[in-house]
Amino acid sequence: MNTRQGALRLTLTYLVAAALWIVASDMLLASLDLTARQTEQAHVWKGLVFVLLTGALLYVTISRHLHRQVRIGKALRASEERLSLALSATEDGLWDWDLRRQSIYYSPGYHALLGLADGDLGTGRDQWQQLLHPDDRPAYQRALHTLMQASQDTPYENSYRLRHRDGSYRWVMSRGRLQVDGQGRPERFIGTVRDITQRRADADSLRQAAAVFESTQEGVLVTDTRQTIVHINPAFSRITGYSEAEILGKHPTLLKSGRHDAAFYQNLWHTLQTQGIWSGEVWNRRKNGEIYPQWQCIRAIHGDHGLLSHYVAVFSDISVLKHSQRELDHLAHHDPLSNLPNRLLFSERVEHALQRAERDADRGAVLVVDLDHFKHINESLGHNVGDLLLKATGERLARQLGSGSTLARLGGDEFAILAEDCAQAEQAAHLAQALIDCLHAPFLLDGQELFISASAGICLYPEDARTVDEVLRNVDSALFKAKSSGREGFAFYDQEQTEYARQRVELIAGLRHALENGELRVHYQPLHCLGDNRMIGVEALVRWQHPQRGLVPPGEFIPVAEDSGMISAIDAWVLEEACRQMVAWRSAGRSLQFVAVNISSRLFSRGELDQRVAQVLTDTGLPADCLELEVTESAVMDDPDQAQALLERLRSLGVRLAIDDFGTGYSSLARLKRLPVHKLKLDQSFVAGLPHDKDDLAITHAVIALAHNMDMKVLAEGVERSEQLEHLRQLGCDYVQGYLLGRPLAAADLHLG
């Protein structure tokens, strides 16, 4: 019964009682036959009695109502206090949404959950919805819409993210109930929220841990404190062969191989009990009886109160690793292509041989055999054929050696031989020649015959070397000597080689110092036109003005600069100096058409030459057609496609292009005709024999004719005699340079007319 029904019932009861009192009292007075005065007094007393009775009834009713209200208020306050304490204890927040008034109450705990001050959320939904994660809004709206369609009290549960005051998003679990009125219309929506961010993170971690446990390749075994197996993962079954049904409830001793004694297990348990963890190699037995090695880690697990709860063992089958270690050891000491000992193993054996030689006063030899021009095989036929040739070479060399020798492949096309039975230089020389000769016969590889030659270096020990480093250094020096002497031969190490190497190191250091301290100079050699005998240009040539030695010959330092890689920096410096000098000559009114600058193969192969040239032309202000770049034939042929692309970019800048030392390389005429060059420079080795050497004469004539047919000019270098000049004029050569016409001189000493 609600409040309105109770009030109506009480009122009706009062009206009925009052009506009965009036009717009954009037009938009683009428039957008493009283006088008018008595009747009047009786009515007064009747009214007073009625007032007293109704007043008493009203007092009792109001008193009972107030007492009930007090009781309800106390119960409500107690309930509110219990609810507040419960929410505070659980750190939950409360919301109460009055759907008729569209007013929402957010408890202080709700605000605290989001780091907000009490009241920051207001009494509406707008402020709250701004905190809802954008990705969660569609799902929240669908859930709310579905809930609002209910026609009876309906429970509600949902998870979503709300933005905390610090900018992070917190996952919350929202639980509540929708209340409806008598007509089934939503009236009130009330519930609580709880921060479940950590719970979700823990759940994710547990899922990840479970996934790792199930999918890891290592076997996992879990036992209780009595060492009874309570859990395994799939990898355990795969490694041991035992299924879960076969192993649960058993003791891990079921897996013992019998290879370990009692002391091993005593040490294991002592370490586990004192340190909480043990790891090491263990041999166990599979279900099929096979004994195998495994690497195992056992850890003691303790509960919240520090009491031991479980043991967890994680292990991996290392039988494959054991096998791989043996293979790796072989690979670490052997060349994978030829299966011969590699540099590491060879060095170890040389060290042992040196120790034996010192102990027993023995002598021996170390040889290095290097294939001549092997890179041409790789470049023309491919690396597969090159590898086959190296393997066949190793097999052929091995057949020439006895049991007292070690054959190794040091890398690339270098093979090394340790001959401990070569006590005399004559024996080492005979062996070297035999090794070189055995390679003369053709190799039949991939359906074609290949011919190869080799060079060898020899170092005798202990007279030439007493350490492994000295042996390898000296034998390389001897090999260099053999190759420098024309290849396809052998050479012994001698002290002069070491002295030469030392001087070379000093020269490299001095050259680097020269670059840094401005000791380099540019000299210019005149270039003449044969048609009118005019000087049309100059070639820029680098010179080194050493502070102690004076002018160092180019033939001494240029090869060193090329080998050490410093030639690129030198070329770049000469290019800039020559361009600046050409600008100065033009400003002074000199009639030179161009300055020619040599470009080394190292600088040319970098592919950025066009950018460097463009920058130098911009910095110096020299017109592009006043600069001629000379590129060697060999540099162009090293990578023809890349060279052609670079030359075309240089040509687009407007500079002149010339092929230097033409005739000394391996030019393809098909490539040559496509190169955007203006000029061919005939190498001085062909000019030197003119006019008496028929071969030089024929080559010179052919080069000139070839160039003219391809719309190129020809410049002959190295002209030193007048008869050479005259024959070049008769052959139609366009330009010449050489000592006959002018030596290279400093810019200040050059007579330009």
Cβ atoms within 10 Å, residue 179: 14
**Residue 655 corresponds to which amino acid?**
V
3 state SS of 444? strand
Comparing CA positions, the residue from 441, 418, 325, 434 lying closest to residue 367 is 418
Beta bridge partners of 106: 95
For the stretch 317-358, pLDDT in tens is: 888 777 777 777 777 888 888 889 999 999 999 999 999 988
Residue 42 pLDDT level (bands cut at 50, 70, 90): confident
Higher per-residue pLDDT: 11 or 230:
230
DSSP one-letter code for 116: P
C-alpha span between 360 and 271 (Å, rounded): 50
Measured in residues, the chain has a length of: 753
Out of 182-186, 204-208, 239-243, 494-498, least confident range: 494-498
Residue 202 pLDDT more than 80? no
Q: Largest alpha-carbon pair distance within the chain? A: 186
Average pLDDT score over residue span 264-271: 90
C-alpha span between 460 and 431 (Å, rounded): 13
Residue linked to tokens 């690497």? 295
What is the token pair recorded at 15? 């009206």
Helix ranges (DSSP H) in 593-639: 601-605, 609-620, 633-638
- Give 569's contacts (C-beta < 8 A, 6+ positions apart): 515
Residue 180 pLDDT level (bands cut at 50, 70, 90): confident
Residue 35 pLDDT more than 60? yes
Higher per-residue pLDDT: 5 or 300:
300
Q: What region, left, alpha or beta, does residue 640 occupy, with left being phi > 0 and alpha being psi -120 to 50 degrees?
A: alpha
- Give 171's contacts (C-beta < 8 A, 6+ positions apart): 159, 160, 161, 195, 196, 197, 199, 200
Residue 429 pLDDT level (bands cut at 50, 70, 90): confident
Out of 190-194, 505-509, 526-530, least confident range: 505-509
What is the token pair recorded at 445? 């590889």
What is the token pair recorded at 224? 């209780």
C-alpha span between 538 and 78 (Å, rounded): 111
**How, if at all, do strands 93-98 and 169-180 pair?**
unpaired
Are 389 and 377 contacting, i.e. CB atoms less than 8 angstroms apart? Answer: yes
Q: What is the pLDDT of residue 615?
A: 93
Cα separation of the two ends of the chain: 131
Residue 86 pLDDT more than 70? no
Residue 411 pLDDT more than 70? yes
Average pLDDT score over residue span 539-551: 89
Average pLDDT score over residue span 16-20: 79
Q: How far is CA 307 from CA 297, 303, 650, 746, in A?
A: 20, 5, 81, 93
3 state SS of 25? helix
C-alpha span between 186 and 88 (Å, rounded): 29
For the stretch 490-509, pLDDT in tens is: 888 876 655 665 677 678 88
Are 312 and 293 contacting, i.e. CB atoms less than 8 angstroms apart? Answer: no
Are 109 and 87 contacting, i.e. CB atoms less than 8 angstroms apart? Answer: yes
**How, if at all, do strands 169-180 and 186-195 pair?**
antiparallel
Residue 665 pLDDT more than 60? no
Average pLDDT score over residue span 582-597: 91
**Residue 574 corresponds to which amino acid?**
V
- Work out the percent of the chain whose per-residue pLDDT is above 70: 94
Higher per-residue pLDDT: 361 or 32:
361
Beta strands in 402-509 (DSSP E): 405-411, 414-419, 443-445, 448-450, 454-461, 490-492
Whole-model pTM: value is: 0.44
Q: What is the pLDDT of residue 76?
A: 66
Q: What is the pLDDT of residue 738?
A: 92
Residue 1 pLDDT more than 60? no
Average pLDDT score over residue span 355-374: 90
Residue 668 pLDDT more than 60? no
Residue 85 pLDDT more than 60? no
What is the token pair recorded at 505? 């190191």
Out of 48-52, 322-326, 534-538, 549-553, least confident range: 322-326
Residue 87 pLDDT more than 70? no
Residue 43 pLDDT more than 80? no
Q: How far is CA 314 from CA 231, 441, 670, 721, in A?
A: 12, 60, 68, 89
For the stretch 276-310, pLDDT in tens is: 899 998 999 998 988 989 899 999 988 777 788 88
DSSP one-letter code for 626: G
Residue 83 pLDDT more than 60? no
Q: What is the pLDDT of residue 90?
A: 55
Comparing CA positions, the residue from 163, 162, 186, 159 lying closest to residue 175 is 159
Whether omega for the bond prior to residue 442 falls within 30 degrees of 0, making it cis, is no
Residue 397 pLDDT level (bands cut at 50, 70, 90): very high
Which range of 29-43, 53-67, 446-460 scores highest in mean pLDDT? It is 446-460
3 state SS of 732? coil
Domains of the chain: 3-59 (no CATH), 91-201 (3.30.450.20), 216-323 (3.30.450.20), 340-493 (3.30.70.270), 507-749 (3.20.20.450)
What is the token pair recorded at 661? 């030392």
Higher per-residue pLDDT: 468 or 327:
468
What is the token pair recorded at 581? 């000098």
What is the token pair recorded at 306? 């520090």
Out of 214-228, 426-440, 523-537, 577-591, least confident range: 214-228
Residue 554 pLDDT more than 80? yes
Helix ranges (DSSP H) in 339-440: 343-360, 374-381, 383-398, 425-438
Are 500 and 706 contacting, i.e. CB atoms less than 8 angstroms apart? Answer: no
Q: What is the pLDDT of residue 435?
A: 93
Comparing CA positions, the residue from 751, 726, 700, 739 lying closest to residue 533 is 726
* Residues 608, 596, 696: CA angle, nearest 5 degrees: 110
Average pLDDT over the chain, rounded to whole? 85
Q: What is the pLDDT of residue 123?
A: 87
Higher per-residue pLDDT: 361 or 607:
361
Are 56 and 49 contacting, i.e. CB atoms less than 8 angstroms apart? Answer: no
Are 700 and 687 contacting, i.e. CB atoms less than 8 angstroms apart? Answer: yes
For the stretch 203-216, pLDDT in tens is: 777 777 767 777 77
Are 698 and 732 contacting, i.e. CB atoms less than 8 angstroms apart? Answer: no
Q: What is the pLDDT of residue 509?
A: 83
Cβ atoms within 10 Å, residue 719: 24
Helix axes 567-587, 554-564, angle to 10 degrees: 120
Average pLDDT score over residue span 8-21: 78
C-alpha span between 5 and 7 (Å, rounded): 5
Residue 407 pLDDT more than 90? yes
Residue 653 pLDDT level (bands cut at 50, 70, 90): very high
